[in-house]
Amino acid sequence: MCILRPQFKKMRMKLVMKHFILAVFAAVISLSAAAQKPITVKGVVKTEDGKTLSGASVVLTYAGKKDSIKTASSDKGAFTFNNVAAAKVQVAVTFIGYKKFVSEYDYSNATGEQIIWDIALNPGDFTLETVTVQAAKVQIKEDTVSYAIDSTMYRKNDNVEEVLKRLPGIEVDKTGKVTAQGKEVTRVKVNGKDFFGGDVTTATRELNADMVDRIQVIDDYGDQSAFTGVRDGEASKTLNIQLKKDKNKGYFGNVTAGAGTEERYLGGLSLNIFNNSQQISIIGNINNTNANTFNFGNSGSPMAAMMGGMARSMGIGRGGAGVGSAFGNFGNSDGINVNKSLGINFRDEWGPKVSAYGSYSVSERNSLTINNTTQQNIFQNSSVTNIQNSNNDAVNTNHRFTFNIEYKIDSFNYIKFTPNISYRNSSADNFSDFLFLGNNNAKTNEGITSSISSSEAPNFSGTLLFNHRFKRRGRTLSLNLNAGSSQTNSVDDYENLSTIYLPGGGTRDSALYQNIVQDNENKNASVRASYIEPLNKKQSLEFNYAYS
């Protein structure tokens, strides 16, 4: 028979109590962990008549806290919030043209998946004009201003230009010119790479707003500065459009067509084929509404202006364009213009070290301008009537090819080669007649003017950039080679026949025939070298050499 002594009973009791307390504590911890397990909240955004809404902004906010989760409804109106804490929450839904929906839900004791069934938006006055960009959506870091874009900032089928108009510090005029912080944006990139040669208007008007995740305005000092970190010269404004991750893979685009009075029409195609790093964009357009898809810059030149002025001083082009039309009619919006344009943008990664991107754009404009003018000048004892009729038919064609290839040899060496080719061709056929009448409608002068002109302007240029980073931090060497060739060749055949009626009777005839030929060529080459030697963490010494 075993007899427990008092001290052993006491020890056994302590062990039992200890195990009991540990078991209770473990159970409490287990229940607490189960209670705090994240849940999933799902729902569908609908209108009051049961139609689903795609692209609605849905925000989940925890009660008494500033923390929130944001998403947008899918094509079928559905949305999902994962890893939601078990607590009281508020869900707010907004969509252009509908009243804001706000409701609270208590998920303090909820587990698993929770479905929201009562979201139904009613028509209201929540329009795009009432949307303002919150300060939290704007980030400023050194030389970059970044804007977060969400569905409350645009309507369905809006382009990027419409979003830019809503952003603080950015202005867009009727021609598509973008100004940021008071300075014109001269270049645009998509995901950090040039899009259609950096053509701002093409990117902002052809890319849909629902593709965009973020828009950045960058003070760009050039590729060399980006590598060395040394800012040299005056910065230009560059727009970088960051696409949503789900828009970097797939096929998407749109087709537009329209017709109006006076036989006006337009048609457009935009197609994007994206597969992560490989991206192809195709844009096509035809219209007679004076709308341009691509911006080829100022096609007129100082020589064109000089020749136009010279021609006018000699009476050439009275009532018409004359030789100036051979140079400066690109982008002319007078008369009836039939515009045709097609462009393709390409981007790909050729292995882990080589990336290539470029574009080709072509545009043709056929302009027909008919002018009929009658002007009467009345003096004290006489009057003069001037009647002029002119017909000008011009065809202008632009080609532009841009290409970039980047080779990251290793972490210390980088090469970028950028060739550019452009070609402009213009032809114009102008005919006009004029008649001057004096007192009693007596003829004083009449005649005709005709001009047939043509011009072409091929341009070639290339840039080669080499950057080397030494092992010592901040020590770099950069070489920049540039070369180019540009030509402007034009021919203008001009004829002016006039008859002057003499006061005493009789006439005097005059004739002027001119053939103007212009051939201009310009070649250039330059080299620049830069070496930076760091002196300490905040100071460095830069050596530059340039030759042209």
Mean pLDDT (whole number) for 5-28: 46
SS3 156: coil
pLDDT at 418 over 60: yes
- Per-residue pLDDT of 223-249, as tens digits, reads 767 666 666 667 888 999 988 888 888
Closest CA to 422 of 357, 486, 378, 366: 486
- How high is the pLDDT of residue 228? 64
Domain boundaries, the chain: 39-121, 131-247, 275-461+488-522
pLDDT at 471 over 60: yes
pLDDT at 276 over 80: yes
Residue 307: pLDDT band with limits 50, 70, 90? very low
- How high is the pLDDT of residue 154? 85
Lowest mean pLDDT among 230-234, 322-326, 392-396, 457-461: 322-326
Mean pLDDT (whole number) for 383-403: 93
pLDDT at 355 over 70: yes
pLDDT at 452 over 90: yes
Rg, Å, the chain Cα set: 35
Mean pLDDT (whole number) for 170-188: 84
Pairing of strands 46-47, 120-121: parallel
In a 10 Å sphere around its CB, with 0-12 CB exposed, 13-18 middle and 19+ buried, how is residue 482 labelled? Answer: middle
Q: Could you tell me what percent of the chain has a pLDDT over 70?
A: 82
pTM of this structure: 0.63
Higher pLDDT: 147 or 297? It is: 147
pLDDT at 308 over 90: no
Beta-ladder partners of 477: 468, 531
CA 25 to chain CA centroid, Å, is 62
pLDDT at 16 over 80: no
- How high is the pLDDT of residue 545? 93
Residue 540: pLDDT band with limits 50, 70, 90? confident
- How high is the pLDDT of residue 256? 87
Mean pLDDT (whole number) for 522-531: 94
Q: In whole angstroms, how far apart are CA 528 and each of 235, 465, 544, 546?
A: 18, 10, 7, 4
- How high is the pLDDT of residue 14? 47
- How high is the pLDDT of residue 118? 85
pLDDT at 323 over 80: no
Measure the CA angle with vertex 527, ends 192 and 533; round to 5°: 75
Higher pLDDT: 318 or 134? It is: 134
Tell me the CATH architecture of domain 39-121. Answer: Sandwich (2.60)
The answer as to CATH 2.170.130 being correct for domain 131-247 is yes
Helices (H) and strands (E) in the chain, counts: 6, 28
For the record, the structure tokens of 200 come out as 């701002």
- How high is the pLDDT of residue 424? 95
Residue 7: pLDDT band with limits 50, 70, 90? very low
- Identify whether the C-beta of residue 151 lies closer than 8 Å to the C-beta of residue 163: no
Which strand (E) or helix (H) includes residue 100? none
Q: 393-411: buried (b, 16+ CB within 10 Å) or exposed (e) per residue?
A: bbbbbbbbbbbbebbeeee
- How high is the pLDDT of residue 400? 93
- Identify whether the C-beta of residue 223 lies closer than 8 Å to the C-beta of residue 192: no
Closest CA to 527 of 467, 476, 464: 464
Residue 496: pLDDT band with limits 50, 70, 90? very high
pLDDT at 28 over 90: no
Q: How many other C-beta atoms lie within 10 A of the C-beta of residue 152?
A: 23
